[in-house]
Amino acid sequence: MRTSFLFSLTAFILCCSLFSQNAQAQRSKKPPAKPTVGEARAFLDSAEKKLKNLWIKTSRASWIQSNFITDDTDALAADAQKEVTAATVDFAKAAARFNSLKLPYDLERQLNLLKLSLSLPGPGNPAEQEEMTQISVSLESDYGKGKFFPDGPQGKVVDLNQASRILATSRNADTLLRMWKGWHSISPPMRDRYTRLVELSNKGAKELGYRDLGAMWRSNYDLPPDQFAAEIERLWQQVKPLYEALHAHVRASLTKHYGESLVPKDGLIPAHLLGNMWAQQWNNIYELVAPPSGDMGYDLTEILKSKKIDEVEMVRIGERFFVSLGFDPLPETFWKRSLFKKPADRDVVCHASAWSIDFHDDLRIKMCIEINDEDFSTIHHELGHNFYQRAYNPLPLLYQGSANDGFHEALGDAVALSITPEYLQQLGFIQNVPDASGDLGLLMKLALDKVAFLPFGLLIDQWRWKVFSDEIKPSEYNTTWWQLREKYQGVKAPVARSENDFDPGAKYHVPASVPYTRYFLAAILQFQFHRALAREAGIQGPLHRASVYNNKKAGEKLRKMMAMGQSRSWPEALEALTGEKKLDATAFLDYFAPLKKWLDEQNKGRKVGY
């Protein structure tokens, strides 16, 4: 987990020495001594030593707070985060002294990464720093503890996991609406605190020299902030026709199932009918939209259950995929310290995540695993984070990250694209690989996950960037949230919403202040990665049937890119794996080309768009 710094004694002595020199110079009316490369290196070295201790301390406090949610663990996590935030701000400001100095590449890059190392930069005022960290921890904690009573205060209490299972399996519109409304009732109390969090973090970003927090987030992509935003829009325009074709077919299928009074044949889709709390992935409604000839020949969820594969064994299977590529197995501590199953006796943050606690070999995942095909894929994704973390952990601390945050998310998903029928046969899950007649079913199931996600992956930060820039006022938070969801996703709130609601807070990444554009980037990058790995493995045939399982040559190519960490720009890392320097959605479109052809045929005579 990337956090921040505090002055070490060495750095403190150095800064005091420089202050003394500057004071003497002022008394003698001489300009301050110009900084040197040696001073910059000493500053960075001493910062990294203290930085590592602080990050480990914060990682441990955050792990405990996420896995044992109490007032006490909230306070401990807030204290650790407050210390790390204050230190990062101090170091980032001190690093600005070397801005005008011509520095070697490594020094300049690491100092820039230092300045961008916080997703929530606190203001310099200690009281405001403390307030910001307390708000931040409390918002994430409230999300983790979120529960509601769909049948009134005397009824049964429901949490997000339970509500998500009902949304995934029920086809009763009234039941789905109760679950949707119930979960979205947990977030209105967050609204005022979130508004204050925006004020404080924006102030911190401005003190570091950024226009606002959104501009600071966008500066982390080796491009000017506005140019990066334009790149995101370019990618969206590449994939938008495929999304709109899928949306039109899904809308027609839901109209047929629920009736035109609930799902207008030419309009927006009610968000509670798509099988997911945020309508961000639609794979749970596959049976309602499946192609008539799309029988995949197997049901992975049923296979996992029939073979009595438990949560730990699902993770073991994922680990064996990476080992088959030539990676070493995970350390024994991973199995002892990770969380695989939701405890019955306490609140935890169930949102799946991967951790490198000590920036060396203490790797873990935290996940409330369900025995189904979706979590089988998610496990491969989370383990991708862990193996990536271990690949770059030998690097200097500030290089211990992916080339950009989209790379981290894309890597595990690229591996999960190898969960093909051929892979399942090698695992012994199916006896025979289905022929090509079932490929439309495979592609539709994956499109309901990957294609359906694209606009949601885009709009979260579209909303936040406008919030941070004050284009969206606090009095417009919920209204503009739904305007963006209608514009990009083509979905609408299932019941009337107002500014008494705070529906963005019902999505983990908003109260947790996790930048979200990384997931949109990952949705594109994973297919670029997958195509490159398939080529490296010499695989012929359609991209959607390619699996690099047990291919050491593809694994070595992947390992080399992973080992670069954040030491080089992301275009260089992309080129190392794919031979391409530009983000490109053609691999994404090639993968789903057979499905797009079928969708266009189905949509003749239908309105496409919303």
Torsion of CA 418, 421, 427, 432, to 10 degrees: -160
**C-alpha span between 68 and 64 (Å, rounded):** 6
CA atoms within 13 Å, Cβ hemisphere of 1: 22
Judging by DSSP bridges, how do beta strands 491-492 and 269-270 pair with one another? parallel
Annotated catalytic residue within 83, 244, 370, 382: 382
Q: Looking at this protein, which amino acid is placed at residue 54?
A: L
**C-alpha span between 265 and 364 (Å, rounded):** 46
Q: Give phi and psi for 328, each to the nearest 5.
A: -70, 150
Q: Enter the tokens of residue 520.
A: 């949109």
Q: Token match 């995970």: residue? A: 330
Q: Is 509 a catalytic residue?
A: yes
List residues bridging with 158 in a β-sheet.
148
**413 in helix, strand or coil?**
helix
Q: Is 128 buried (19+), middle (13-18) or exposed (0-12) by CB count in 10 A?
A: middle
Q: Is 382 a catalytic residue?
A: yes
**162 in helix, strand or coil?**
helix
Query: 3-state DSSP helix/strand/coil percent for the chain, to nearest 5?
Result: 65, 5, 35
The helix/strand count (H/E) of the chain reads as 24, 6
Torsion of CA 456, 458, 461, 463, to 10 degrees: -70
**C-alpha span between 596 and 610 (Å, rounded):** 18
**C-alpha span between 346 and 324 (Å, rounded):** 37
Annotated catalytic residue within 486, 509, 572, 575: 509
**C-alpha span between 248 and 240 (Å, rounded):** 12
Positive or negative CA dihedral for 12, 13, 18, 22? Answer: positive
Contacts of 259 (CB under 8 A, 6+ apart): none
Per the CB < 8 A criterion, the answer to whether 278 and 507 are in contact is yes
Query: Which value, in Å, is the radius of gyration of the alpha carbons in the chain?
Result: 25
DSSP letter assigned to residue 35: P
Catalytic residues: 382, 509
